[in-house]
Structure 1
Amino acid sequence: MYFHVQRLINDIASDEPDPAAANALQEGLGGQFGEMRTMMQYLFQSMNFRGAAAKPFRDVIQGIGTEEISHVELIGTTISRLLDGSPRYQGEATDPLDTPGSGGAIPLNIALSEGNIHHYLVGAQGALPVDSVGNPWSGSYVYNSGNLPLDLLYNLMLESTGRLQKCRIYEMTDNATARSTVAYLIVRDQAHENAYAKALESLGVDWKTLLPIPKTNAEKFPEVKKLLDLGLQSKQYSFDLAGQSEAGRIFQGMSPSKDGTTLDASEQAPEGVPSVISPERLEEFSPGLDADLVALIQATAEMEMADVVDSFGPVATK
């Protein structure tokens, strides 16, 4: 059972729209080594886990899988913000929906030359479950062998490849919106590398000088260094409201990354930042609600919310 807190796990910096950067980030969302795969792979492994004696390993996988849900939300929201608004669109909310834009501008012509046309043609300037060349995300990416050491090895490979690709994406753009999210994911991927490496270490693996993978100068990226200075690469969250996670029995001691830090699994979840809903995109006819529909939706929402009790238990009935 999962609870949703309406906060993003990390802040997204503000910058101009950049559809090309948005398309590069699609690889980190829906690619073979993207956040959708990590989320699904770890959740399926934790759901199918067997062997009560190995519960700490299950809790490590489950905690990381739960965090990956928030990473899907973060990178998807970042893509949406990078696409949010055509630079040429200067229309107002009162303009007719069939008017392309102020002064006869073509608000969506950027879709013909930048990034992925489906971001504008299919997704109304939002993230899609695809990779950077438009291939749909596939459930065949998910690896769940049922063999614990083998699954842990695959998970470490997945985090390492994801981190490698995000380091490359960082070098592809100087857009602050893209870099703020990519830097956070570079650091958290290293934390997850550390978690799976520590789990394998407890099974007899000696990493010596192998980690982190890849060995890069990512710590020199200013956005990354800020997070490393906070020790974010050595924290793991339980996302466990009941305090039953035993992941701390695995995620402890000196970091396998040999960076002099100590692993810390004491926090339930990061504080996060406020989640803000983007404005309507009139040039996309999305959501395209007129005043009467907006009023009806608001009235219905107020009527329904009046019956909801703010608790985790059953909703009160009259």
Structure 2
Amino acid sequence: MYLHVEELINEIVVDEPDPAAANALQEGLGGQFGEMRTMMQYLFQSMNFRGDPASKPYKDLLQGVGTEEISHVELIGTTISKLLDGSPRYQGKKDDPVDQPGAKGATPLKIALDHSNIHHYLVGAQGALPVDSAGNPWSGSYVYNSGNLVLDLLYNLMLESTGRLQKCRIYEMTDNKAARSTIAYLIVRDQAHENAYAKALESLGVNWGPLLPIPKTNAEQFPEVKRLVDKGLQSIQYTFNPQQTSQAAKLYRGASPSNDGTELSVELMPEGVPIEISPERKEEFAPGLDPELLALIQATAEVELKEADRPPSS
């Protein structure tokens, strides 16, 4: 059973709309190595986990990482929506006269014909879609669940490493602050999860030596990443288990397998940031609440408030 705390796991920095960056981020959401895949893969591995009670720390680790991935899907999907929201009214950057979608009286959704993914406007009403950057639908066939713990952990480490590699590339495709704030967070958390699966495999006899992290990148060249690494976010794993019954800390502890001099630690969950509802998009006919419907909603709310304030009858 899951609880939804109505907060994002990381802040999305405010910047101009950028539909091209939104489309690049679709790879990190619905691509073969994206957040939808990690979420489903780890949760299915956790649900299908078999073993004696001594193996519970491995199940708990899969469960904790899989639960965090749900919040990553929410974060990256919300970021894509923010990068698309209002993009038909985007007037372009002053230092790039060619970049002027929506300017000079253009039709409201003209930008959809020659920028990024047309389905963001035709189907998604300026919102995220469960597809990759080429528009291919996310597929359940991406999910790897062999039933063999060692194979699954090896595959998961590969998945986190490839996802981190791709996000480093996406980071270098855009200078949009909203996109980079989310990409940087996911780069660091992918390393934390790489550490998680590496540490679990160490407990099963693997000696990584100098192999990790994969890929070996200089995080300090990305300022947003460096700020998070300086906080040690790459060496923390969350359990999302308020009952404190998770045994993931039996695995996620000791020196980081990334050889960065940090010690691994487990926490319940991070502090979130408020979620804001996006404004209506009239050019998309969404959500389409006309004045009569809005008046009905307000009248209904007033009646309910009066009923709630009425003292109980004796």
Q: Shared fold (TM-score greater than 0.5)?
A: yes
Change (3 A) 1:304 1:44: farther
Query: Offset at 1:102?
Result: 11
Instruction: Look up the match of 1:22.
Output: 22
Aligned mates of 2:299, 2:78 — CA distance in 1 = 28
CA-to-aligned-CA distance 1:227-267 (integer Å, 9 cap, x gap): 000000000000001111000000000000000000010x2
Contact 1:14 1:176 in 2 (8 A): yes
Structure 2 contact 58–248 (Cα < 8 Å) conserved: yes
Normalising to structure 2: TM-score of the pair? Answer: 0.91
C-alpha distance in 2, partners of 1:222/1:187?
12
Does structure 1 conserve the Cα–Cα contact (< 8 Å) formed by 2:112 and 2:121? yes
- Structure 1 residues 245 and 87 mapped into 2: Cα distance closer, same or farther (>3 Å)? same
Unaligned runs of 5+ in 2: 92-101, 309-314
- Determine the structure 2 residue equivalent to 1:97: none
Deviates more, 1:139-148 or 1:298-307: 298-307
Q: Say which SS state the counterpart of residue 264 (structure 1) adopts.
A: strand
Query: Equivalent residue for 1:279?
Result: 279
Give the conservation status (yes or no) of the 8 Å contact 1:7–1:274.
Answer: yes
Deviation of the 1:62 alpha carbon: 0.3
Which amino acid is 1:202 matched to? S
- Cα–Cα, structure 1 residues 85 and 199, in superposed 2: closer, same or farther, change >3 Å? same
Contact conserved, 1:166 with 1:186, CA < 8 A, in 2? Answer: yes
Residue aligning to 1:196 = 197
State the partner residue of 1:315.
Answer: none
Which residue does the alignment assign to 2:76?
75
Count of matched residue pairs: 297
Aligned to 1:166: 167
Query: Which segments of 5 or more consecutive residues in structure 1 lack a partner in the other structure?
Result: 91-100, 309-318
Cα RMSD of the aligned pairs, angstroms, is 1.9
TM superposition score normalised by structure 1:
0.89
Equivalent residue number for residue 87 of structure 2: 86
User: How do residues 56-135 of structure 1 correspond to structure 2 at under 5 angstroms?
Assistant: 56-88=57-89, 105-135=106-136
Change (3 A) 1:130 1:102: closer
1:248-267 → structure 2 map (5 Å cutoff): 248-265=249-266, 267=267
Measure the CA separation in 1 of the matches of 2:176 and 2:90.
20
CA distance in 1, matches of 2:307, 2:202: 51
Residue 97 of structure 2 is matched in structure 1 by none
Question: Alpha-carbon deviation of 1:145?
Answer: 0.6
Confirm whether residue 148 of structure 1 aligns to residue 149 of structure 2.
yes
Q: State the identity as a percent.
A: 78
Q: Give the aligned partner of residue 245 of structure 1.
A: 246
- Mapped contact 1:89–1:107 kept (Cα < 8 A): no
Tell me if structure 1 keeps the 8 A contact 2:200–2:251. yes
Distance 2:226 2:84 in 1: 27
3-state secondary structure, aligned to 1:125: coil
Cα deviations across residues 153-188 of structure 1 (Å, max 9, x unaligned)?
Answer: 000000000000000000000000100000000000
